[in-house]
Structure 1
């Protein structure tokens, strides 16, 4: 009995060690893959926002006040934002925000969903209540991106922001507003969760190892007797 118990114990210890090693390697591979995908997606969002912001001239948004949503000036810049947004199927909204560093407020200036979707778009002077306030203020100096998907009164998004300056030739002017773009949170999560196959592979490997240990780890006397 003691010898049989020793053999069984060694078998289970071997199985446990194998499972721990495989699970650890699987988790490491998944984490690394997930982090790389998120980093790439966030860099892409920041780059896109940055490029779009350089295409907005400060004079195009100068002087807009609440009630100007149907003015030629507003409609022209909203159309320009929609045109740029249409070049990337994942972007569902582009807008311009004005930031007041004195009272730490951020308000919408232009929303490209207007006048296409008046009820679903922000009006001039409407407060931006998203939890991305830190990223919006940081975008006064350079492109930023949401640290993670968030939800607000408009829905669930992943956003990027970039400064709009008053320089005509380069990006060394004074920041006058911040351009923002949104992608659906669900699309972002899907695009950065392609490591599922790694988990599946790890689980299958564990099953194979356990099966192999069960089949090949038995003592000869435990094998089925052939009549």
Structure 2
């Protein structure tokens, strides 16, 4: 089953908006990750530069003298610890500084002067790792820096019992240039994330902007597609109406030529046939012609009141307005005469006054669609002859000449009234044998 146009347009809007938001979102995300990576890389480069410079100030020969039996109060140990602590304080955002060595493929702490956190929650700062204490969860980058005697940096933040950090490592040597160990610096990630916060804020705002732009793009697509659809529909309606009018003109031309021949054959003054039928045929030929009609404007309910007084005066029926608004409008000037002729024919066909109500079917920007519903005032059904019902159910402009001359004068008169209404823009529909609808347009007065 083919989807309806509105559903198709909504689907297109959703698809286009989604693709736009996806592409823009991916682009923004790539820029965001690139910025984060660049900032992280900048921090890592700075940290490597700092730890490398600091490692050159350490005396590896002195460091080799420290062992598990060395006391923290040892003057030589204190001198190196104070030197390292002064380096840590001078380096921005470095939380811990310490040295490590590798023995038997295991990492051990040596000098660690940095103040510790209160991880056990007793209100007293924890003791730093003891000399030659095993670093059980040492990062792989630290192990590789010790094993390969090279500079190292954390690829990603790591977490251990002292917190979450990005760390850098640099080797230091003794007086003979022999490798002794590595100096490690741990950058606390609190300040790192704080530096990244503005980028995250921009990214979060960008997500809102992406959604907003997606909605705007969707509305633009919807407006373009809707305008295209309305334009195509207008062209289709115009083409259909043009084809319909051309068909009408062609058939009416054939019909009028046939009527002219018919009347020419009856030009004998002594003709004593059905003169009423001839008059009806003459009226039918006149009303079949498409021609411009003048319009009138004013208070529509007041016009209906005047029209109904005329119907009552001639005992043809009533035409009641169901609306309660005062409509200042414009309508065809010949509408009154066309409706009056229809009432007159109906009264002759069913021999009862005709009742009709006018109601508002719909309202557009520039007009109202009215519906006139006709029925008999008699308790019996409003019954039309079967022949008339068959004729009304056929488009009026398709009535053939052979059908027309076989009708009676009153039947031709009814067709004349109906085709006149149709030429005034009315849409005539026989709902059943007892109800006739006539829909027409009332234009708003600007």
Deviation at 1:192, TM superposition (A): 4.4
Deviation at 1:55, TM superposition (A): 0.6
CA distance 1:63–1:41, change in 2 (3 Å): same
CA distance 1:131–1:210, change in 2 (3 Å): farther
Of the two, which has the highest radius of gyration?
2
Deviation string 1:5-39 (CA, Å, 9 cap, x unpaired) is 33223222221221111111111111211211122
CA distance 1:12–1:82, change in 2 (3 Å): same
8 Å contact from structure 2 (residues 50, 91) kept in 1: no
| 1:200 aligned residue (188, 194, 205) | 205
Question: Aligned pairs, how many?
Answer: 218
Partner of 1:50: 52
Flag as ranges the 4+ runs of structure 1 deviating above 4 A: none
Deviation at 1:215, TM superposition (A): 6.7
CA distance 1:27–1:72, change in 2 (3 Å): same
| Unpaired segments ≥5 residues, structure 1 | none
1:76-225 matches, within 5 Å, as 76-100=79-103, 103-113=104-114, 119-139=126-146, 140-167=148-175, 173-192=177-196, 194-196=198-200, 197-214=202-219, 217-218=222-223, 219=226
CA distance, structure 2, for counterparts of residue 47 and residue 31 of structure 1: 24
| Unpaired segments ≥5 residues, structure 2 | 117-123, 231-364, 367-443
CA distance, structure 2, for counterparts of residue 136 and residue 202 of structure 1: 41
Partner of 2:73: 70
CA distance 1:154–1:2, change in 2 (3 Å): closer
Which fold has the larger relative contact order, with Cα–Cα distance below 8 Å and residues 6 or more apart in sequence? 1
CA distance, structure 2, for counterparts of residue 5 and residue 88 of structure 1: 63
Helix, strand or coil for the counterpart of 1:163? strand
